[in-house]
Amino acid sequence: MAATHHLVLASASPRRLALLQQAGIEPERLLPVDIDEAPERGEHPRSLAKRLSRQKAEAAFQVLRERDEAEGRILLAADTVVSVGRRIMPKAEVEDDALANLRFLSGRTHRVYTGVCAIGLSGRVRQRLVETRVRFKRLTRDDIRDYIDSGEWRGKAGGYGIQGLAGAFVVRLVGSYTNVVGLPLYEALALVEGEGFDIHGVRRALRETGETA
């Protein structure tokens, strides 16, 4: 019966969806929600990642309840924060943000925190926080210009996506690579499996569907 439980991803991120698909999991639906992502005064980056992931999960779960669609569904949400020390690097929405971020990250070690939150069939909230340390090489003007021209920085925490051109900037990475992409797979799947999501049953069902298509 567990295999009939449906996974809802509270995100519009194509990277998080692709990571789940890479792990053989196809969410039933995407249910992104809009929340205020501004850090509170003096808030530590790791606390921000945990708080926002929980708020996203709770807001999306409330939408399911209002639609009377929460039964039989497990909800997964995540939020990624990039920081140098306690300095939180903004999500790059305009070119000036991306330029400032890349110049500041050049030659430095930064930390990537992702808060992962799952709400299970009982409505219980479970969370994990994952931290990865990343060191960039010293970026040249051409490195930065090429990356800005690529447009890969748009909407990215810290102004870069490691799965693209910026992967060549990384001198050292300590921790989870998928965390830097936006969803630490081990921790995310452990959370939903702990809430009764039958990962292996879902994979088998997807394979059977593909075979009969």
What rounded mean pLDDT belongs to the chain? Answer: 93
Residue 195: CATH number of its domain: 3.90.950.10
Q: How far is CA 95 from the centre of its chain?
A: 22
Count of domains for the chain: 1
Q: Please report the pLDDT score of residue 205 as a whole number.
A: 81
Taking alpha carbons only, the member of 78, 93, 56, 92 closest to residue 182 is 78
Series of mean pLDDT values for 10-residue runs along the chain (213 residues):
71 94 93 94 96 97 93 95 95 94 97 97 91 98 97 95 96 98 97 90 80 53
Q: Per the residue annotation, which of 34, 68, 79, 198 is the catalytic one? A: 79
78-115 residues labelled b (16+ CB within 10 A) or e (exposed): bbbbbbbeeebbbbbeeeebbbebbebbeeeebbbbbb
The boundaries of the domain holding residue 24 are 2-212
**SS3 state at 85:** coil
96 classed as catalytic: no
The per-residue pLDDT for 2 is 41
